[in-house]
Structure 1
Amino acid sequence: MGNANLNISVIEKRMLNQTESAAYTGMPVKHFKTTCPVQPLEMGRGIRCWDKRDLDRWIDDMKQGTEMTTRDAILGKL
């Protein structure tokens, strides 16, 4: 028998749509919409994506007791 090589490359997404962002944070979409202060980035006409790094920062801040609640607070953390 011949040998077969399987070359799989997985590229991890950095930008997530709303459903993916909610799943990433472990929240239902409805709760994510009303709770998450992280502003999405407009990636094109009607395409809004959340940066995983911003979501991670928000979660880390909540763990430390410093929840970001405004856009200015988020920008101040960048």
Structure 2
Amino acid sequence: MATTNLNINVVDKRMFKQSEAASYAGLPVKHFKAACPVRPVELIRGARLWDRRDLDLWIDDVKSGAVTDTRDTILDRL
């Protein structure tokens, strides 16, 4: 009987494109754009990426009830 060994390395992504960040948060992109206060990072010119750690902090804040939108924060997202 033959045996096979697989060596698989999995690297968790830290930075997400907008669609990936929305999916990570469990939201459609349209709702993610309106709800997410996390600012994207531009690692290279024209590439806006969302940091998974920042998304986790935002989600944790929402879960704890610590997130409160002000008029300014809502306008900043538009």
- Fold conserved (TM > 0.5)? yes
**What amino acid is aligned across from residue 5 of structure 1 in structure 2?**
N
- Give the corresponding residue for 2:22: 22
**What amino acid is aligned across from residue 57 of structure 2 in structure 1?**
R
SS of equivalent residue, structure 1 residue 20: helix
- Give the corresponding residue for 2:43: 43
- Give the corresponding residue for 2:34: 34
- Measured after TM superposition, the shift of residue 64 of structure 1 is 1.2
- Give the corresponding residue for 1:53: 53
The answer (yes or no) to whether the contact 1:17–1:50 under 8 Å persists in 2 is yes
- Give the corresponding residue for 1:67: 67
- Is 1:4 aligned with 2:4? yes
Gaps of 5+ in 2: 74-78
Q: Deviations over 1:9-65 (max 9, x none)?
A: 110101111000000000000110111000010011210111111101001111111
Gaps of 5+ in 1: 71-78
SS of equivalent residue, structure 2 residue 32: helix
SS of equivalent residue, structure 2 residue 50: strand
Normalising by structure 2, we get a TM-score of 0.80
The answer (yes or no) to whether the contact 1:38–1:58 under 8 Å persists in 2 is yes
Provide runs of 4+ in structure 1 moved above 3 Å: none
Normalising by structure 1, we get a TM-score of 0.80
